[in-house]
Amino acid sequence: MRKMTRRTWLAAAGMTSVAVGLGSGAMADDTATSNPRHFKDVPPRELIQKWHLPNVELITQDGKKVRFYDDLVKDKVVAINFIYTNCEKVCPPIMANLVKVQKLLKDRVGRDVFMYSITLKPEEDGVKELKKYAKTFGIGPGWLLLTGKPADIELLRSSLGFKYRDPAEDADKSNHIGMVRIGNEPVMRWSACEGQARAEWIATTIEREADVPFQGGVKPAAAVAGAK
């Protein structure tokens, strides 16, 4: 696999504005006819959701149906990566590394931080395969492995920026992008880490997003519940 730095990934994905929002420049009004870059009078958070956080249906490793935005991302701090269970290159070391991250975050995972790994091969990775994969790596509560319809998975992958510009390179799933997308949805803060970066650094990055002041915004419901 070609070494992919955070900078080259963001450039390849066309999402250089990720630190302050998921590519706000791409949020054009799809109903406008005269000006393709005309924006509706819609709050930025809603625009980001519309263009980069599609509310597709997914299925967890326990067979539960969930909606990506409504159930998994809205009002939460999240860490998202893409995998597939028979991957022999980048997936195993990244998953092992993220297990270390989960242990470093301790009981915050599932309380005010949520981790999601989405399969790139939903036609092969069903509930049974994902559940076995989770058990193999010792994945704990608060971290979901997800599958769904192939078209919905592709929409998610594209919307979250896990794509190469070169179609031929992008079609090779064995060379998929091994990054982790980190987001604080209610305050519209999004960033990324290399999946094989030091676990301590990834955990610190996630905690920094989880602990950012919610000035003028809504504190995630999960964080409020966890504080009680």
Indicate the pLDDT class of residue 125, thresholds 50, 70 and 90.
very high
Contact 147, 125 (CB under 8 A): yes
In a domain, 219, yes or no: yes
pLDDT of residue 227: 40
**Angle (nearest 5°) at CA 203 between 219 and 185:** 30
Domains identified in the chain, total number = 1
pLDDT above 60: residue 22: no
> CB under 8 Å to 144, separation ≥6 — which residues?
60, 61, 66, 72, 114, 115, 116, 117
Cα separation, 139 vs 208, in Å, equals 22
In a domain, 99, yes or no: yes
pLDDT of residue 42: 80
Stretch 38-51: mean pLDDT:
81
In a domain, 53, yes or no: yes
Residue 158 burial class via C-beta count within 10 angstroms: exposed 0-12, middle 13-18, buried 19 and up: middle
Q: What is the pTM of this model?
A: 0.79
* CATH code: domain of residue 65: 3.40.30.10
In a domain, 30, yes or no: yes
Cα separation, 157 vs 118, in Å, equals 9
pLDDT of residue 217: 43
In a domain, 95, yes or no: yes
In a domain, 57, yes or no: yes
Tell me the sheet residues that pair with 182. Answer: 79, 191
Specify the amino acid at residue 33: T
pLDDT in tens, 154-204: 999 999 999 888 888 888 788 788 999 999 999 999 999 999 999 999 999
In a domain, 1, yes or no: no
Tokens 């263009």 correspond to 51
pLDDT of residue 215: 46
pLDDT of residue 164: 85
Give percent of the chain above pLDDT 70: 75
Which residue range forms the structural domain that includes residue 188?
A: 6-227
pLDDT of residue 31: 40
Specify the amino acid at residue 225: A
Which residue would you say has higher pLDDT here, 57 or 37? 57
